[in-house]
Homo-oligomer: A and B are copies of this chain.
């Protein structure tokens, strides 16, 4: 379920964003607390080791090592690598959202262009609409783990009413080594063409508007599929992950408080708790978590798209619009500004 907080930030107020820091759901704390515990534990372990278990010369070596690590930790370009990478991930994520297929445009057209309030007319409109929903369901099944869990087999698709038994038979009989999510669209096109011949769709203009809209819908579907199929190249993700992990590894040793008596530069204070390093952990690991969460927005994270809800909403709404509401118009009345 997407975490919506826009109403909380409608106005820019006194320390406006601080309220967001107190949320738990979808928050940085919920996403990071496990990593944070691991990091803090390791840091403490090393600190304890250094303070209590190392001999004098080991301590001297560790101190040099620590300074060495600290020096290189600063040279790792975590900020830039993350900045460029997260920008890429966020853009892809938003494009996926924008290309979620909604059948609303098609249902308006089907409701107004496929004629006949008799049973055959209703059947036509409902079937066309069902094909549209079926296609997006087939796509969602291969894109979203949540949807796949709900519809693990085509039987479940049939059972949920998206496909009839007879359609399933024809679907299964089609021999193709490739994915067949495009099949309902061929049916849609052919059925619309048939309706045109039978006069249920008035003329080619109406028909082509429908087909064009269908093709738009298909493009959304296939774009989603494409985003899933061709992700950000693995190397890029690995480069970024390596950079961040290396940085934290270097911090574990390099940000230890060293014996103030040794007089190392910048090591004249022992706070025990490396407050700024822990905060840095939050920034960088949190930034990486943004990427982790958004790189596949069809999972079950707090912030992922609710595809199962979409599927239900689309079927319910679109059948309602093309059947019950078809030509069921409110009586026209003069509005209150008439003259």
Residues of B within 8 A of A243 (CB): 283
A176 at the interface (CB under 8 A from B): yes
Residues of B within 8 A of A245 (CB): 18, 21
Residues of B within 8 A of A238 (CB): 20-21, 23, 27-28, 286
Residue pairs across A and B with Cβ atoms less than 8 A apart, 6 shown, are A17-B241, A21-B241, A83-B84, A164-B335, A209-B211, A246-B283
Binary flags per residue of A51-81, CB closer than 8 Å to B gives 1, else 0: 0000000000100110111011011110111
Closest to A169 in B: B330
A235–B266 touching, CB < 8 Å: no
Residues in A182-208 with C-beta less than 8 Å from chain B: 182-183, 185-194, 202-208
A319 and B170 CA atoms in complex are apart in Å by 17
- Counted per complex, copies of this chain come to 5
- The listed residue (B7, B27, B250) touching A234 by CB distance below 8 A is B27
Are B11's CB and A329's CB within 8 A?
no
Q: Are B233 and A3 in contact (CB under 8 A)?
A: yes
Interface string of A1-26 (1 = CB under 8 A from B): 01111110111101111101101001
Q: In the complex, are the beta carbons of B226 and A325 less than 8 A apart?
A: no
Inter-chain contact A9/B295, CB cutoff 8 Å:
yes
Q: Out of B4, B65, B214, B242, which one reaches A28, CB within 8 Å?
A: B242
Contact A108 B290, CB 8 Å, known A235-B303, A317-B178: no
Chain B residue nearest to A270 (CB atoms) is B64
| Contact A280–B76 (Cβ < 8 Å) | yes
Q: Are B31 and A235 within 8 A (Cβ)?
A: yes
| Residue A272 lies at the interface, judged by CB distance under 8 Å to chain B | no
Say yes or no: is A320 at the interface (Cβ < 8 Å to chain B): yes
Contact A328 B14 (CB under 8 A): no
Q: Are B68 and A269 in contact (CB under 8 A)?
A: yes
Contact with B along A78-113 (1 / 0, CB 8 A): 011101101110100000011000101101110111
Given the known inter-chain contacts A11-B299, A243-B283, please indicate yes or no for A166 contacting B330, CB distance below 8 A.
Answer: yes
Residues of B within 8 A of A182 (CB): 104, 108, 317, 321
Known: A6-B228, A242-B282. A26 touches B211 (CB 8 A): no
A279 to B78 CA separation, bound complex (whole angstroms) = 13
Residue from the list B205, B214, B324, B328 in contact with A205, Cβ < 8 A: B205
